[in-house]
């Protein structure tokens, strides 16, 4: 048996891509599309479909908890087309590596979009003593700098 990611492992994707906790991208809901990469590259680029486009129907998925789904739909609204999020990868010559890159990108995009909002910042006040000390030190620094001028030296 060949280890995952080696030359002979072209038949299946590696372990499911975890979004967060026990939630992962279901392989059945991922839609793959392959095309030729653009740009220079010679004969290889002209003959192989190495660019990968990965689509995931966020609006209709049952894989995400309802709260996460709502959050992701709201945060990714600008990227969605009819509720579907799309990710492209074409930096590698190998379609297989581009598939992995696209899947990891999609998983991290969804992890970021479903993350809980940060806790609200509780405003703090600078203590009176600290503020007075800061002003006193500024005044001392100002006096030192004023003393460097050559005004009274003639």
Q: Quick check: 98 and 87 in contact, CB under 8 A?
A: no
What is the pLDDT confidence band of residue 48, given thresholds at 50, 70 and 90?
confident
Q: Edge-to-edge, what's the strand order for the sheet holding 30-35?
A: 30-35, 51-57, 84-89
**Residue 74 counted as domain residue:** yes
Res 5 pLDDT > 90? no
What is the pLDDT confidence band of residue 125, given thresholds at 50, 70 and 90?
very high
Q: What is the mean pLDDT of residues 57-73?
A: 85
- CATH classification at residue 92: 3.30.160.20
Q: What is the mean pLDDT of residues 110-115?
A: 87
Region for residue 20 given its phi and psi (left: phi exceeds 0; alpha: psi -120 to 50; beta: otherwise)? beta
What is the CB neighbour count within 10 angstroms for residue 19? 23
Beta strands in the chain (DSSP E): 18-20, 23-24, 30-35, 51-57, 84-89
Q: What is the mean pLDDT of residues 38-50?
A: 66
Give the relative orientation of helices 66-75 and 95-114 as an angle to the nearest 10 degrees. 100
Q: Quick check: 55 and 110 in contact, CB under 8 A?
A: no
Taking alpha carbons only, the member of 50, 31, 32, 30 closest to residue 41 is: 50
What residues make up the domain containing 77? Answer: 18-39+47-114
Q: Is the pTM of this model over 0.85?
A: no
**Residue 107 counted as domain residue:** yes
Q: What is the mean pLDDT of residues 38-43?
A: 64
**Residue 69 counted as domain residue:** yes
Which one is predicted more confidently, 111 or 4?
A: 111
What is the pLDDT confidence band of residue 140, given thresholds at 50, 70 and 90?
very high
The count of domains in the chain is: 1
The structure tokens 């087309």 sit at 81
Q: Quick check: 90 and 98 in contact, CB under 8 A?
A: yes
């Amino acid at each position: 048996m060949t280890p995952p990611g080696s030359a002979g492992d072209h038949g299946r994707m590696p372990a499911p891509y975890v979004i967060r906790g026990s939630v992962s991208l279901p392989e059945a809901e991922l839609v793959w599309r392959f095309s030729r990469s653009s740009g220079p590259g010679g004969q290889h680029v002209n003959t192989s479909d190495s660019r990968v486009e990965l689509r995931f129907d966020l609006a209709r998925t049952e894989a995400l908890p309802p709260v996460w789904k709502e959050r992701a739909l709201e945060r990714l609204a600008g990227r969605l087309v009819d509720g579907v999020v799309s990710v492209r990868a074409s930096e590698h010559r190998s379609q297989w590596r581009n598939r992995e890159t696209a899947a990891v990108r999609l998983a991290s995009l969804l992890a970021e979009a479903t993350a809980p909002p940060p806790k609200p910042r509780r405003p703090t006040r600078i203590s009176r003593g600290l503020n007075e000390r800061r002003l006193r030190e500024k005044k001392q620094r100002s006096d030192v700098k004023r003393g460097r001028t050559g005004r009274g030296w003639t």
